[in-house]
């Protein structure tokens, strides 16, 4: 019998539900209230504050399937088991059970329910780190042995491998224990034979069966005890299905197989690695586009651009027939729906295909010319030192021909040349510094990315601000604003919780203006004049002489660098989804346009 993704999802969630866990939602891939993260990269990311006690969890035991995006392993994509987007099955104990129960749950599900022979499993545990003052986790190894895993299948590992945190910033963290599946002799020599645990080829990680959250990593890199202990687990469902079915790679699962087959049927030069990269990158791009992000040169938009352009380059590599990219995008969307991974998500298929086509038009000419220029660069020996391509040229390929670093790196590798990522990053940072004007502008208005949705939400923010002043008092002022494609977040000074009536009144005020179909006007004028005319100015000290002022009928007038919608009718329906405290004397509203 072959397992499907749907079955394994059901098996996992049923198992944890039966053991007292509440199933929580699959959040958007765009983090809310978390500027430290471009994309949700683990199931715990949307709920990270429950582990520090800052927020209350829905339940002390939870589980879900969360779609995650991770592009830090982009170089590994094309192998058997790395993906830039995947479904993470997760389970959590928040201040409830700890190591012993977590290990027992993992063993029970894998061995008793999913029938994986225990001899195929290996567990890694944290061996401690003296310089950081972190003791070894000796308990977990013992618990694995109690369950029936042989002692020589339990490995002590380093801080880098077995101490999980969200990155270098502030984050709840702790030692973890990971489960690996032995895919057998055809994938390399065994650990027993060589003493080397080949986790790149033979042994595939299938479950981080417990991050034992007990510390808070501070900005300074120290570790403080958390008020209570928690467990955070995560398992990539594509890998789990791959190992359960004895597949060669995750690309044989139903999330990828139909796409791979379609590529193979439409290319006369298909190479395994390229085909995998294409299907992976298109799927992740679809997810990002569907979250309202558009290709650009900043932040999330740039991740998307890199993925799409790399997919395009590989399509060219395999001699793909014309129009294949669009077909694959449409097919990927159909297949995501068919696989039922996130039944609650809708896909705007035509729009997504259109956006990919637009990006392809932009890049196809550049790609053609850039490849010629690249060939010229590498044919001149002066551009190469000790086998490394001159970094200014790598940057030029980015700057002039829109080649993301990975593309140039791959091309260079095909010529047995190296490139320096560090030097490229330095040139990139220098370039960013020089064009800071633009970047500053983006952040001034609190937009995480500029696209149709964020622009409309930005206009809604002005109306919200005006409504709050009208119903709560003129001394209410903006204290912070953050806009993602999905929602606006607005902080303002006010001493108490708003009543339900006040929230309703503000919401009605905004919707009323939307219904009046009012043009949004922009004027340039000297700062003093703008202030005199009653425009609300938020960052006065930062403005130069002339400022732009956005007016919405008689309702709102703000000094602002934009961008804004043309007419309030474009906004749709405004809805306040949350009103809460942000800090002392500051309230926070989240709202959406429906």
- Complex with ligand SER: residue 164 or 181, whichever CB lies closer: 164
> Which CB atom, from 67 or from 311, has the smaller least distance to ligand SER?
67
Between CA 538 and CA 554 the distance in angstroms is: 19
Residue nearest to ligand SER (CB): 234
- Given a contact cutoff of 8 angstroms between Cβ atoms, the answer to whether 461 and 482 are in contact is no
CB of 206 to ligand SER, least distance (A): 11
Q: Which stretch binds ligand SER (CB under 6 A): 42-50, 216-224, 313-321, 448-456?
A: 42-50
Which listed residue (8, 42, 339, 513) binds ligand SER by CB under 6 A?
Answer: 42
Helix (H) or strand (E) holding 480: strand 478-483
Q: What is the DSSP letter of 31?
A: P
Whether 273 and 127 have beta carbons less than 8 Å apart is answered as: no
Count of residues near ligand SER by CB under 6 A: 10
Minimum CB–partner distance for residue 126 and ligand SER (Å): 13
DSSP state of 418: B
Q: Does 175 bind ligand SER (CB under 6 A)?
A: no
Nearest approach in angstroms of CB 211 to ligand SER is 5
Show contacts with ligand SER in window 65-94 (CB under 6 A): 90
Q: How many other C-beta atoms lie within 10 A of the C-beta of residue 185?
A: 10
- For ligand SER, the closer CB: 26 or 252: 26
Determine the Cα–Cα distance for residues 463 and 461; give it in Å rounded to an integer.
Answer: 5
CA distances from 402 to 19, 153, 568 (A): 51, 47, 35
Q: How far is the CB of 156 from ligand SER (least distance, A)?
A: 18
For residue 186, the minimal CB distance to ligand SER (Å) is: 27
Which residues touch 529 (CB under 8 Å, ≥6 apart)? none
- The distance of closest approach from Cβ of residue 208 to ligand SER in the complex, given in angstroms and rounded to an integer, is 4
The first and second tokens of residue 483, run together, are 């806009």
Contacts of 143 (CB under 8 A, 6+ apart): 99, 100, 103, 104
User: Cα separations (Å) of 361 from 151, 323, 401, 404?
Assistant: 57, 12, 13, 16
For ligand SER, the closer CB: 232 or 449 = 232
Closer Cβ to ligand SER, 40 or 263, answer by number: 40
Coil, helix or strand at residue 180: strand
CB of 212 to ligand SER, least distance (A): 11
Considering beta carbons, is residue 234 or 402 the nearer one to ligand SER? Answer: 234
Window 205-264: residues binding ligand SER (CB under 6 A) = 208, 211, 232-234
| Cα dihedral across residues 317, 322, 325, 331: positive or negative | negative
The helix/strand count (H/E) of the chain reads as 18, 18
* Conformational region of residue 525, where left means phi above 0, alpha means psi within -120 to 50, and beta covers everything else: beta
Report how far apart, in Å, the C-alpha atoms of 592 and of each of 35, 352, 360, 514, 588 are: 18, 21, 31, 14, 14
Stretch that binds ligand SER, among 36-44, 53-61, 437-445, 497-505 (CB under 6 A): 36-44
Minimum CB–partner distance for residue 88 and ligand SER (Å): 6
Q: How far apart are CA 594 and CA 254, in angstroms?
A: 33
Region from 40-48, 329-337, 356-364, 470-478 binding ligand SER, contact rule CB under 6 A: 40-48
> 76 or 533: whose CB is closer to ligand SER?
76
Smallest distance from ligand SER to CB 426, Å: 30
Which region, judged by CB under 6 A, interacts with ligand SER, from 37-45, 103-111, 154-162, 220-228?
A: 37-45
CA angle at 481 for the pair 48 and 455, rounded to the nearest 5°? 110
Say whether residue 451 binds ligand SER (CB under 6 A).
no
Q: Which is nearer to ligand SER, 84 or 453 (CB)?
A: 84
**Out of 86, 105, 126, 164, the residue judged to bind ligand SER by CB under 6 A:** 164
By CB under 6 A, residue 43 contacts ligand SER: yes
Q: How many CB atoms lie within 10 A of CB 554?
A: 9
42 versus 393: smaller Cβ distance to ligand SER: 42
- Residue 488 CB, nearest distance to ligand SER (Å)? 29
- Residues contacting residue 559 through CB under 8 Å, at least 6 positions apart: 527, 530, 531, 535, 536, 537, 538, 540, 543, 547, 548, 549
Nearer to ligand SER, 242 or 352 (CB): 242
Give min distance, CB of 63 to ligand SER, in A.
11
**Torsion angles phi and psi, residue 215, rounded to 5:** -125, 160
User: Which residues lie near ligand SER (CB under 6 A)?
Assistant: 42-44, 90, 164, 208, 211, 232-234
């Amino acid at each position: 019998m072959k397992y499907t993704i749907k079955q394994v999802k059901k098996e996992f969630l049923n198992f944890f539900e039966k053991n007292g866990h509440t199933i929580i939602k699959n959040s958007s891939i765009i983090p809310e209230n978390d500027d430290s993260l471009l994309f949700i990269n683990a199931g715990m990311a949307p709920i990270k504050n429950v582990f520090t006690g800052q927020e209350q969890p829905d339940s002390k035991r939870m589980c879900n399937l969360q779609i995650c995006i991770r592009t830090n392993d982009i170089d590994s994509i094309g192998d058997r088991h790395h993906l830039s987007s995947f479904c993470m099955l997760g389970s959590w104990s928040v201040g409830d059970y700890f190591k012993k129960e977590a290990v027992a749950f993992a063993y029970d599900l894998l061995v008793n329910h999913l029938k994986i022979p225990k001899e195929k499993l290996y567990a890694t545990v944290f061996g401690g780190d003296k310089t950081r003052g972190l003791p070894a986790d000796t308990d977990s190894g013992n618990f694995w042995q109690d369950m029936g895993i042989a002692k020589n299948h339990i490995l002590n590992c380093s801080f880098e491998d077995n101490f999980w945190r969200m990155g270098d910033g502030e984050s709840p963290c702790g030692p973890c224990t990971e489960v690996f599946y032995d895919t057998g002799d055809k994938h390399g020599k065994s650990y027993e034979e060589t003493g080397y645990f080949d986790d790149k080829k033979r042994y595939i990680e299938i479950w981080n069966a417990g991050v034992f959250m007990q510390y808070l990593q501070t900005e300074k890199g120290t570790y403080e005890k958390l008020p209570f202990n928690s467990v955070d687990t995560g398992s990539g469902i594509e890998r789990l299905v791959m190992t359960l079915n004895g597949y060669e790679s995750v690309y044989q699962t139903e999330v990828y197989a139909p796409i791979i087959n379609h590529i193979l049927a439409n290319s006369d030069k298909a190479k395994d690695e390229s085909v995998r990269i294409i299907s992976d990158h298109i799927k992740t791009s679809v997810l990002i586009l569907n979250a309202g992000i558009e290709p650009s040169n900043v932040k999330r938009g740039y991740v998307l651009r890199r993925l799409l352009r790399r997919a395009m380059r590989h399509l060219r590599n395999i001699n793909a027939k014309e129009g294949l990219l669009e077909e694959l995008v449409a097919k990927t969307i159909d297949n995501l729906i068919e696989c039922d991974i996130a039944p609650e998500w809708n896909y705007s298929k035509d729009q997504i295909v259109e956006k990919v086509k637009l990006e392809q038009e932009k890049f196809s000419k550049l790609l053609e010319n850039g490849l010629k220029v690249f060939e010229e660069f590498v044919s001149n020996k002066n551009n190469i030192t000790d086998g490394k391509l001159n970094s200014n040229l790598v940057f030029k390929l980015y700057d002039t021909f829109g080649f993301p670093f990975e593309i140039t790196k791959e091309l260079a590798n095909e010529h047995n040349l190296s490139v320096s990522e560090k030097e490229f990053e330095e040139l990139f940072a220098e370039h960013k510094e020089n064009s800071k004007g633009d970047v500053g502008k983006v952040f001034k208005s609190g937009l995480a990315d500029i696209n149709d949705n964020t622009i409309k939400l930005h206009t809604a923010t002005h109306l919200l601000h005006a409504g709050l002043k009208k119903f709560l008092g003129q001394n209410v002022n903006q204290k912070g604003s953050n806009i993602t494609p999905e929602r606006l977040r607005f902080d303002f000074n006010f001493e108490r919780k708003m009543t339900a009536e006040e929230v309703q009144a503000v919401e009605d005020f905004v919707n009323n203006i939307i219904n009046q179909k009012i043009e949004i006007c922009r004027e340039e004028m000297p700062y003093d004049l703008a202030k005199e005319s009653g425009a609300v100015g938020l960052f006065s000290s930062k403005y130069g002489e002339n400022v732009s002022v956005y007016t919405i009928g008689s309702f709102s007038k703000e000094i602002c660098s934009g961008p804004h919608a043309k007419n309030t009718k474009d906004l749709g329906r405004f809805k306040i989804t949350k009103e809460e405290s942000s800090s002392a004397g500051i309230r926070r509203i989240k709202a959406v346009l429906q």
